[in-house]
Amino acid sequence: MAQARAARLKGRVAVVCGGARGIGRASALALAREGNAVAIADLREDQAAAVASELQDAGARAVAVAMDVTDPAAVRVGMAHASDALGAVEVLVNCAGWDEFKPFLATEEPFWRRVIAINYEGCLRTTQAVLGGMAERGWGRIVNLSSDAARVGSAQEAVYAGAKAAVIAFTKTIAREFARDGITANVVCPGSTDTDMLEEMVRGAPDSERLVGALERAVPMRRLGRPPEVAEAVAFLASEEAGYITGQTLSVSGGLTMA
């Protein structure tokens, strides 16, 4: 394992949006272990700073970046901060996300707008902010986090599933447009994963204990995913070795989706 990791130490500069916790934090740690410098971009500045400090203590180059992906100005400033601190952004991982369990008829347009702004429009903003520079340099990796909800649907997550499906279509199109520029764009679709976000969603739902049991039973492996399991897929797709893989959608979901 040590030799396999050593072969992938390339020292790229990565930005992980939503990197303060959950799958984002695990992805930041995985990328740093591969020898990359990592900017942890998140609304939660204190938690992002804690992750950056953890990486620095382990010998990695890292910085915390305050970023609200729904705010175009905040994305521009945050990406500039990351570049100034670490160098030109070569890897972008979009993990920022938010949702609540709600039957579709119980949702209203302000909820729709928030879900779409965070889960889809944020991905558009951060990608546009770094894509031009990647193309000029002739190298880049974009890894967008969608969800198996986008592939099979998910009860009480209609708007979220739709936004995450848009992420898949967007990523495939970027992969086609920039295939000759040394840039790959791929999607990782987690299934139900044991994260802070899922815990908050479950806590706000009625009959939460039954809901968790139902989520586990839907997975052939009969358990929730773990953030590091998803992060390993992210780190691979961000690596040099994944240079001939683009426009792909990979489920990390214990068999919930099989393709």
120 is known as an active-site residue: no
Kindly name the residue from 98, 101, 160, 236 that is annotated as catalytic: 160
| Tokens 């729904």, located at residue | 70
Question: Can you tell me the distance from the alpha carbon of 157 to that of 106, in angstroms, rounded to the nearest whole number?
Answer: 11
Tokens (6 digits) for 120:
């889809």
Tokens (6 digits) for 163:
């936004």
Dihedral sign computed on CA atoms, order 82, 86, 87, 91: negative
Q: How many of the other CB atoms lie within 10 Å of CB of 107?
A: 15
Q: How many CA atoms are closer than 13 Å to the CA of 9, on its beta-carbon side?
A: 10
Q: Name 144's bridge partners.
A: 94, 187
Q: How many of the other CB atoms lie within 10 Å of CB of 253?
A: 26
CA distances from 24 to 107, 153, 204, 214 (A): 27, 23, 22, 25
Tokens (6 digits) for 84:
């100034």
Helices (H) and strands (E) in the chain, counts: 11, 7
Among candidate residues 152, 163, 248, the one with its CA nearest the CA of residue 192: 152
Residue 211 is which amino acid?
A: L
| Tokens 């969608």, located at residue | 146
Residues 161 and 176: beta-carbon distance below 8 Å: no
Active-site annotation, residues: 160
